[in-house]
Structure 1
Amino acid sequence: MRPNTASTGSPRTRQPRRPLRVAATSPSRLLRTGQSGRCRGCGHRIDWHPRADQRPIALHPAELATAHVPASCRWHLSSGIALPHGDGSAWCRIPHAVLCPHRTPTAPAGPHIQALRRQLAVRTRRLIDTGAFTPTPAAACGSPAGTTGRPTRPVVQLLLGRYLAETPIEDIRCVAQTRQRHRCPQPVLAPHTPQGAWTLLPTSPQRGQLALPAALMAVYDLSRLPYTEQLRWRTQRCPAHAATPGAADLALAGWQIFDPLQHTEHIHTRLPHPTPGRPGKA
């Protein structure tokens, strides 16, 4: 038995940090504490969870009574995966897009949902008035290109598929966790690695998608890079963390499968202008 010794220092009031690990049976490699974020439109907390098709969805962090939520807006979690509709319990989760005061509601909601939207709107106004939050301009949330003509949400071709990025190519950030348990600040577009190239490609070459009128669109093409480089981009990791596959992810990769019918506003028919001082080709 270890003897009890009197402590000569100050009492310990801070609990030690527990190392977080990813379970081998987990459908997602994402750490639970890494799923939280902030909405760029209203500044409120959101919880990111992968769906069954691996697409991320932002859910309101608190559970709501199922009776107050429309059936089409009910979600529940199972093994870290977000599934639509309720699981039969009296509580459910709701997508943040339904409550976000920065968005215009597309469907009528009940009085409880409207009251919660008003509460979030008041909090957003307080955050803005105190300078704690600056909403993202509408132009930055959509697809219009900036002064250089570069799309704010570019279409990228890699691993025999096309994906819609959540930020410009230069701003895509590594999702791995550092030793200090923060998200890696390094970009995926590293200066000393093979670069992709902007090119014009047919609009709908993917299998299983409806054909659109013959047209060309600007795509950041990574298909000529080695497989390991394409995989690094798909997993959204910097070169250093790509070499350490055991490191956990602290955020979801921000890719969406590109659909020319659903993402029409992100289709650009002209190549972007080159940006001086930026890595990569235009």
Structure 2
Amino acid sequence: MHPNPAHCHWDGSPRTKHPRRPLRVSATSPSRLLRAGQGGHCRRCGNRIDAYQRTNQQPIALHPAELATVQVPEACRWHLSGGIAHPHGDGSAWCRIPHHLICPRRTPTLRLGPHLEAMRRQLAVRTRRLIDTGAFSPTAPTRPQPATPAACPARPVVQMLLGRYLADKPVETIQCVAQTRQRHRCPRPVLEPSLPAGRWRLLPSGPQRGQLTLPATLMAIYDLGRLPYTEQLRWRTQRCPAHTAAPGAADLALAGWQAFDPLLHSAHIHTRLPHRPARTEGDDQCCTTPWKSH
């Protein structure tokens, strides 16, 4: 009895291998995010969500299933076009709805219809099942604690492209969002030691365009404004130098930037520079040396 060759099953039937087709994103697509990187789970209830970018580049979590338009209030209807979420209907009989409206661990801000209330109860039952089986542990939202002057802020404010953005993690740990050839997220950081780096500065926390006026205070900002435009754009798209040179690579995660608002993000305002003593009278108001981790 001869053993079966490697290309056959135990019963002699041939093995058929389907070739793996690479995922590609069109160069004219307004969103570089692959569909594989859009799925996730709500941190409060554990149910599935889909993350999409809005027209203002801010992410939004939508319920993964489409709903009939007549069952959703007009102010809560969203539709997708080219991977971008738009806050209105597109004239069809189906639409999407933000997850926070039917999240069972949030208090509804609008009066929902009977169909949406039934969906909310179903999600609550699923959340309870996930908790009972140990597949999900709810975490209550915690207010971020201000960092000490001797440490880098956990969520620093970065200035680039004539705007200010709040990062989701420290500067040195911001990770590239591009997809590698092995279909994994790139592990390289955006901060490249061989390229020009930004510098920490104490700048006024004045309002940006369309924001409320607040009392003028100095805050620590990681300034990238003096870098070349291409380098600032690389930080804004959150890509390492290798994937910046490869524009065909798609994104496997959303960029972690959020438009900074001094009123909404007051907990992330730090009045001292990282690794520097408190500024005294007569000191310079900016740090002229790039930030380095210890």
* TM-score (norm. length: structure 1): 0.81
In the other structure, the counterpart of 2:98 is 95
Query: Counterparts of 1:182-261 in structure 2 under 5 Å?
Result: 182-261=184-263
Within the candidate set 17, 24, 29, 2:27 is matched to 24
TM-superposed deviation, 1:91: 1.7
SS in 1 for 2:100: helix
> In 1, Cα distance between the equivalents of 2:122 and 2:131?
14
List runs of 5+ in structure 1 lacking aligned partners.
Answer: 1-6
Q: Tell me, yes or no, if the aligned pair for 1:159 and 1:223 is still in contact at 8 Å.
A: yes
TM-superposed deviation, 1:159: 1.9
> In 1, Cα distance between the equivalents of 2:135 and 2:194?
37
In the other structure, the counterpart of 2:280 is none
Q: Tell me, yes or no, if the aligned pair for 1:218 and 1:267 is still in contact at 8 Å.
A: no
> Which has the larger Rg?
2
TM-superposed deviation, 1:177: 0.1
How many residues were matched structurally?
Answer: 270
Q: Tell me, yes or no, if the aligned pair for 2:157 and 2:220 is still in contact at 8 Å.
A: yes
> In 1, Cα distance between the equivalents of 2:159 and 2:114?
44
> In 1, Cα distance between the equivalents of 2:111 and 2:216?
38
Within the candidate set 46, 49, 58, 2:49 is matched to 46
Residue identity opposite 2:8 in structure 1: G
In the other structure, the counterpart of 1:9 is 8
Q: Tell me, yes or no, if the aligned pair for 1:149 and 1:273 is still in contact at 8 Å.
A: yes
In the other structure, the counterpart of 1:162 is 164
TM-superposed deviation, 1:274: 4.2
Instruction: Describe the superposition over 1:131-170 as per-residue Cα deviations: whole angstroms up to 9, x where unpaired.
Output: 323344422xx43336776544332111221012233434
List runs of 5+ in structure 2 lacking aligned partners.
Answer: 1-5, 277-290
Q: Tell me, yes or no, if the aligned pair for 1:151 and 1:272 is still in contact at 8 Å.
A: no
SS in 2 for 1:82: strand
TM-superposed deviation, 1:59: 0.9
Query: Counterparts of 1:266-281 in structure 2 under 5 Å?
Result: 266-271=267-272, 274=275, 280=292
In the other structure, the counterpart of 1:74 is 77
> In 1, Cα distance between the equivalents of 2:152 and 2:97?
34
1:111 aligned onto 2:114: yes
Q: Tell me, yes or no, if the aligned pair for 2:146 and 2:270 is still in contact at 8 Å.
A: no
CA 1:95 to 1:14, structure 2 compared with 1: closer, same or farther past 3 Å?
Answer: farther
CA 1:237 to 1:192, structure 2 compared with 1: closer, same or farther past 3 Å?
Answer: same
Q: Tell me, yes or no, if the aligned pair for 1:173 and 1:186 is still in contact at 8 Å.
A: yes
Q: Tell me, yes or no, if the aligned pair for 2:7 and 2:15 is still in contact at 8 Å.
A: no
Instruction: Describe the superposition over 1:87-136 as per-residue Cα deviations: whole angstroms up to 9, x where unpaired.
Output: 22222100112122333322232232222222222322332333323344
Instruction: Describe the superposition over 1:161-188 as per-residue Cα deviations: whole angstroms up to 9, x where unpaired.
Output: 1012233434422110011111122332
